[in-house]
Amino acid sequence: MDYIQESDFTVLEEGFTARGLIEKIINDASQTEERDAFLVGDMEEVVKKHLHFLKTLPRVKPFYAVKCNNFRPLVKLFAEMGTGFDCASKSEIELIKEIGVNPERIIYANPCKQISSIKFAANNGVQMMTFDNELELIKVSENHPKAKMVLRIATEDSKSFNCMNVKFGAPLNTCRHLLETAKNLNIEVIGVSFHVGSGCINPQVYAQSIEDAHLVFDMASEFRHKMRLLDIGGGFPGTVEAKICFEEVAAAVNSSLDTYFPEGCDVDIIAEPGRYYVASAFTLAVNIIGKRVLQQDPPESHGAGNGPCKSVLYYLNDGIYGTFSHLLFDFGHPKLILHKEPSPEKPLYMSSLWGPTCDAMDRIAELLYLPELCIGDWLLYNNVGAYTIVMSSTFNGFHPPHIHFAMSLKAWENVHLLKRRYDPAENAEKNDFTL
């Protein structure tokens, strides 16, 4: 097993925090000319989120969505804590297999798979995979006849920022035909999955989707499919700034599960959280590498102080083609924090923030009122753990920031308790966890 080792992280001494590590890195870098942008991943935050998930959704086993943030130390942490993994590609399956995870803990949750990838899954013992149409069933029957299929159904996701059902999900009126087709192809269907979309603001969508899944379970019984899995997907909020909180979602899920899939029904419940775990766990530190001051005609109403009328453009050493790539398509806006607390007497100026590339689209933010900053100053961004650096490129020769993974001693101890709790080989009793 290639699970986490102490060398994968900076293990923080008691009383030392991830923010303290950021300050140390900034102080060290400020003594040199190499003031590169960097990220710090606070793994204590991830462990806390995991313990909260287990407590708040006690019947649901998380299968971490690898696509959200796939860096090896983080993925190894999830493996150590006993989660399953939602993989959407051959490469993601390879990563999880390489760190020693049993393929039974993997669901290939992409309803549209290349034939070579289906064969790869078959050859590596990955059996659970999703589908939502007849042609996908035929592909699987020809290339992975021992697969255990999970029917992905469509949901009402119009209230979500990123609607999934424009691309995936079988309407309820097609499910009976798909279940019959699977039976005729001698393909085993073991359950139902759904995804309410990212940024869902209505927890009752989860409840309605669970009710719909129950209807599909009833349909499946007509064709003697042994249904034993319900996958409630992802879409869980990951920051305190989200429009709904995780507890609201959990309450709707738990109530609906009690109604349609009560305890003792012999159905395993899993979910595919990604953003929930990692969004708030990562902080980005960027340096101001350039500055441009523009004089402005006086506006009718300044609205942000009585300072001179000018605007300032700041150029940072990370941008839209790097960690901020999610600003182009995602709703999870990062939270800006000035590294140096400004004096309240300082005037504020209309400001914009730009990335380091030569592309004029590399604009991070505009219409910000900020105190005047200097070249060499640092800015911090919280909530940058989900769908950020995994989407970055090396455009213009700029490389993604280095990531420092930090973990407190208490979190480190809890990870090992989690391993003992969920690893049958450890043969240990359940433990209580605190952070």
Distance CA 150, CA 233 (A): 12
pLDDT over 60 at 151, yes or no:
yes
The pLDDT of 351-360, averaged and rounded, is 95
According to DSSP, residue 153 is labeled: B
Q: Is 358 a catalytic residue?
A: yes
Residue 145 resides in a domain: yes
Domain identity same for 258 and 332: no
pLDDT at residue 421 in the model: 67
Domain identity same for 318 and 365: yes
**Count of positions (residues) in the chain:** 435
pLDDT at residue 434 in the model: 44
Residue 353 resides in a domain: yes
pLDDT at residue 158 in the model: 62
The enclosing domain of 74 has a CATH number of: 3.20.20.10
| % of residues, the chain, pLDDT over 70 | 89
The pLDDT of 310-315, averaged and rounded, is 95
Domain identity same for 23 and 104: no
Of 246-260, 302-316, 335-349, which range is least confident?
302-316
Domain identity same for 167 and 261: yes
- Sign of dihedral through CA atoms 184, 187, 192, 194? negative
Residue 435 resides in a domain: no
Listed residues 253, 277, 301: the one ending a domain: 277
Domain identity same for 291 and 150: no
Quick one: which of 318, 304, 297, 218 has its CA closest to 265?
Answer: 218
Residue 420 resides in a domain: no
Listed residues 277, 293, 309: the one ending a domain: 277
- pLDDT tens digit sequence for 182-232: 999 999 999 999 998 776 678 899 999 999 999 999 999 999 999 999 999
Domain identity same for 248 and 368: no
Query: For residues 31-63, b (16+ Cβ closer than 10 Å) or e, as one string?
Result: eeeebbbbbbbbbbbbbbbbbebbeebeebbbb
Of 25-34, 57-66, 332-341, which range is least confident?
332-341
pLDDT at residue 306 in the model: 52
pLDDT over 80 at 408, yes or no:
yes
- Residue 106 contacts residue 150 (beta carbons within 8 Å): no
Residue 285 resides in a domain: yes
Beta strand 229-231 with 188-193 is parallel
Residue 434 resides in a domain: no
Beta strand 282-295 with 148-152 is unpaired
What's the whole-number average pLDDT of the chain? 89
Distance CA 304, CA 1 (A): 57
pLDDT at residue 299 in the model: 56
Confidence (pTM): 0.90
Cβ-proximal residues to 67 (8 Å cutoff; 6+ apart), any chain = 86, 88, 92, 274, 387, 390
Domain identity same for 153 and 291: no
- pLDDT tens digit sequence for 46-67: 999 999 999 999 999 999 999 9
Domain identity same for 318 and 272: no
- Domain containing 133 equals 44-277
pLDDT over 80 at 366, yes or no:
yes
Residue 419 resides in a domain: no
- pLDDT tens digit sequence for 226-248: 999 999 999 999 888 878 899 99
Listed residues 247, 277, 307: the one ending a domain: 277
Domain identity same for 165 and 312: no
The enclosing domain of 402 has a CATH number of: 2.40.37.10
Catalytic residue among 112, 163, 309, 358: 358
pLDDT over 60 at 287, yes or no:
yes
How many domains does the chain contain in total?
Answer: 2
Residue 336 resides in a domain: yes
